[in-house]
């Protein structure tokens, strides 16, 4: 790996403190790097737009939380650029490295022939309006259909490979990857999927019918989602970071993306220990 891209959570003071220590160390080691323009401005250094960093780097280091990795994964997934996540946030399910082991992690990622990594499934979401494709996205966590400020529940038809699955009567519907199963999906009562399991979880949000439960579908299905309630604001949310207002008769298509997120794991990791620590499994 030749070029290191660094993308920090905007406005995070600890990310700046880490960079103040890390960048001179990179220069001493002879590593070439690109820093995102928001962080670089604070440091008084040359910086680049995030898209440019993602386009030019051979390795991306994120300084922030899981949200920072989600945004970077969407930027680099088409190129297969590996991501090394440094956790400056709270839960940190997919940010692998603690703030005290940054240098050790970077050195291991750059020096060993093949740093351990996991490829995480992503979803491809597309929106059709009157039969015409109007937007496409790749997401690492989830695709969410949600009602606006109204108190009314909405009806959402879901089709799997062209066959009607059901009509959800709920506040919304979440289509989640295994990585996203510990995010909004979990809060809505969905199951925890092991990160490398091949599947897509559909989870209704506050379903009007108690029998309407989450379902895990194979990774190779195509899901068609149609909000059918009239005169109600409905929104599409992607990884909780990109929003899109849907119109009546819009169709959201969800399927496994041809791209994957490659997350570097320089240190040994026990996923069940992560669950015990982050979700307090086994605690009373």
d(CA 229, CA 284): 43
Report DSSP state, residue 240.
T
> Of the residues 36, 58, 66, 239, which is catalytic?
66
Residue 76 tokens read as: 């680099």
Which of 139, 140, 162 lies closest to 223 in space, CA to CA?
162
Contacts for 254 with CB less than 8 Å, ≥ 6 apart: 123, 124, 125, 143, 175, 200, 222, 223, 225
E strand residue ranges, 115-187: 117-129, 132-139, 142-147, 154-160, 163-170, 172-176
Question: What are the backbone dihedrals phi and psi of residue 33, each rounded to the nearest 5 degrees, phi first?
Answer: -140, 160
66 an active-site residue?
A: yes
Q: Which residues are known catalytic residues?
A: 66
């Amino acid at each position: 790996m030749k070029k290191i891209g660094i993308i920090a959570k905007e406005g995070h003071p600890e990310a700046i403190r880490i960079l103040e220590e890390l960048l001179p160390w990179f220069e001493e080691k002879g590593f070439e790097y690109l820093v995102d323009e928001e962080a670089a401005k604070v440091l008084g250094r040359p910086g680049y737009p995030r898209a440019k960093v993602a386009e030019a780097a051979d390795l991306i280091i994120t300084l922030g939380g899981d949200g920072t990795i989600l945004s970077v994964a969407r930027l680099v997934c088409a190129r297969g650029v590996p991501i090394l996540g440094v956790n400056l946030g709270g839960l940190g399910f997919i940010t692998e490295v603690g703030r005290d082991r940054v240098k050790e992690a970077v050195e291991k990622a750059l020096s060993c022939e093949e740093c351990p990594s996991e490829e995480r499934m992503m979803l491809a979401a597309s929106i059709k309006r009157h039969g015409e494709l109007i937007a496409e996205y790749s997401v690492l966590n989830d695709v969410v259909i949600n009602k606006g400020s109204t108190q009314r529940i909405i009806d959402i038809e879901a089709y799997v490979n062209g066959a009607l699955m059901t009509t959800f009567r709920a506040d919304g519907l979440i289509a989640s990857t295994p990585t996203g199963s510990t995010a909004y999906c979990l809060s809505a009562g969905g199951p925890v999927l092991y990160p490398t399991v091949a599947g897509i979880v559909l989870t209704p949000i506050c379903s009007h019918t108690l029998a309407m439960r989450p379902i895990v579908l194979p990774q190779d299905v195509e899901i068609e989602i149609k909000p059918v309630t009239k005169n109600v604001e409905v929104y599409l949310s992607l990884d909780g970071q990109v929003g899109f207002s849907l119109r009546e008769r819009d169709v959201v298509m969800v399927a496994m993306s041809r791209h994957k997120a490659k997350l570097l794991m320089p240190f040994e990791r026990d996923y069940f220990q992560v669950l015990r620590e982050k979700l307090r499994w086994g605690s009373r």
